[in-house]
Amino acid sequence: MPHDTPTSIDGTEPEIICYNTLIRLGLQPDLDFEFQSVQFGGRFDKGGLVVDFWFYNPPGLAFAVQGEYFHYQLRGGTRMMDRAAESELAMVGYTLIFVDESDLLTRPQWIVQEGLQFRDHSKLQRGI
- The answer to whether residue 103 is domain-embedded is yes
Whether residue 102 lies inside any domain: the answer is: yes
CA torsion angle 33 37 49 56 (round to 10): -30
Domains held by the chain: number: 1
Domain that holds residue 21: 13-126
Residue 97: inside a domain: yes
pLDDT tens for residues 61-118?
999 998 775 555 666 557 777 787 788 889 889 999 999 999 999 999 999 999 999 9
18 lies in some domain: yes
Q: Cα separation of 23 and 39, whole Å?
A: 23
Ranges assigned E (strand) in 1-128: 33-39, 49-55, 61-66, 95-100
Residue 121: CATH number of its domain: 3.40.960.10
The pLDDT value given to residue 3: 45
Could you tell me if residue 80 is inside a domain? yes
Is residue 55 situated within a structural domain? Answer: yes
Residue 1 in this model has a pLDDT that exceeds 60: no
d(C-alpha 6, C-alpha 123), whole Å: 28
Amino acid identity at 84: A
